[in-house]
């Protein structure tokens, strides 16, 4: 069976990813700080007949992060799908926020995503198959005032865009999940705003379907998608121009090489 490693798997969207992947027949490696939450999610997953490994680790702590890196890099127990779901969102304005809380936000939302992806990719590329899901946020496009969370999610979007471009032809896919507000129970749903809140099960289903289609960005919910499509238009245009410029250089290269050959023959 394929194996998926999910961070932040003890509750919320991570637990939903774990449940869906277990139903699909994936063995699981579940990572989070909350042992009781992990045991609850793992017990539910095992009822689907899959093997589940629990790793209690704080990804903002060097030892915890290193342990998960080591598990991902273990060629004898390959991981076919990495879901970088763990995330920290601080409260309050940046200028008065606790420095250690801000650092934990960076360590979890940025450093852990980068290091775990780096640990997973070599084995996936070597096997010619695999996938990485990086959970970003709609806040990465339209930031709320005053905190650092949105900046970390903007980094996740750019990181995914950059690294996925280097994976063409490897059999490995990478996608950023740009999710809006979800009914995970983490936040109360305000009256009159329910149309903007998404069901996490539908978010996971759409993300995995987009990954299977080879897409690098998944934006569940038509309202969010309409805004992101508008914001992404300049970037898509630049990518297209870059590809065209690249083809142009490739088309111009053979005549230059032929000229070099002629000069050498003449010499």
- The DSSP-derived string for the chain is --EEEEESTTSHHHHHHHHHHHHTT-EEEEEES-HHHHHHHHHHHHTTT--EEEEE--TTSHHHHHHHHHHHH-TTS--SEEEE-------S-GGGS-HHHHHHHHIIIIIHHHHHHHHHHHHHHHHT-EEEEEE--GGGTSPPSS-SHHHHHHHHHHHHHHHHGGGTTTTEEEEEE----B-SSSS---TT-GGGPBPHHHHHHHHHHHHHTT-SEE--SHHHHHHHHHHHHHHHHHHHHHHHHHHHHHHHHHHHHHHHHHHHHH-
Q: Of residues 261 and 229, which shows the higher confidence score?
A: 229
Identify the sign of the CA torsion 156, 210, 40, 11: positive
Q: Of residues 196 and 225, which shows the higher confidence score?
A: 225
The topology under which CATH files domain 3-220 is: Rossmann fold (3.40.50)
Confidence band, pLDDT 50/70/90 cuts, at residue 258: very low
**115: which residues sit within 8 A by CB, 6+ positions away?**
65, 69
The bridge status of strand 81-84 relative to strand 130-135 is parallel
Look up the pTM and report it.
0.85
Model pLDDT, residue 160: 95
Cα–Cα distance for residue pair 25/208, rounded to 1 Å: 14
Interval 148-193: pLDDT, tens:
888 999 999 999 999 999 999 999 999 999 987 766 656 555 555 5
Model pLDDT, residue 182: 66
Confidence band, pLDDT 50/70/90 cuts, at residue 12: very high
Model pLDDT, residue 185: 57
Confidence band, pLDDT 50/70/90 cuts, at residue 255: very low
Confidence band, pLDDT 50/70/90 cuts, at residue 195: low
Interval 91-149: pLDDT, tens:
778 888 889 989 999 999 999 999 999 999 999 999 999 999 999 988 888 777 667 88
Model pLDDT, residue 246: 65
Task: Judge whether 224 counts as a catalytic residue.
Answer: no
User: Which entry of 138, 149, 155, 224 is annotated as an active-site residue?
Assistant: 149
């Amino acid at each position: 069976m394929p194996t998926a490693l999910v961070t932040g798997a003890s509750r919320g969207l991570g637990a939903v990813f774990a449940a869906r992947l277990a139903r699909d027949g994936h063995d699981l490696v579940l990572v989070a700080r909350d042992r009781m939450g992990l045991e609850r999610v793992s017990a539910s997953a095992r009822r689907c007949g899959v093997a589940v490994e629990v790793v209690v680790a704080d990804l903002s702590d060097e030892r915890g992060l290193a342990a998960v890196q080591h598990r991902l890099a273990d060629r004898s127990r390959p991981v076919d799908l990495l879901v970088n779901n763990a995330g920290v969102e601080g409260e309050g304005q940046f200028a008065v926020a606790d420095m250690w809380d801000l650092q934990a936000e960076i360590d979890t939302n940025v450093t852990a995503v980068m290091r775990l992806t780096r640990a997973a990719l070599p084995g996936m590329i070597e096997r010619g198959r695999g996938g990485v899901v990086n959970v970003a946020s709609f806040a990465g496009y339209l930031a709320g005032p005053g905190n650092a969370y949105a900046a970390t999610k903007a980094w996740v979007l750019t990181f995914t865009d950059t690294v996925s471009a280097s994976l063409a032809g490897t059999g490995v896919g990478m996608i950023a999940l740009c999710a809006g507000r979800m009914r995970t129970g983490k936040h109360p749903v305000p009256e009159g705003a329910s149309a903007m809140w998404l069901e996490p099960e539908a978010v996971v289903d759409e993300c995995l379907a987009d990954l299977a289609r080879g897409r690098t960005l998944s934006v569940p919910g038509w309202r969010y998608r309409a805004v992101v499509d508008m914001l992404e238009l300049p970037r898509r245009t630049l990518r297209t121009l870059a590809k065209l410029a690249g083809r142009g250089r490739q088309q111009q290269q053979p005549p230059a090489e032929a000229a070099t050959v002629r000069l050498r023959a003449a010499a």
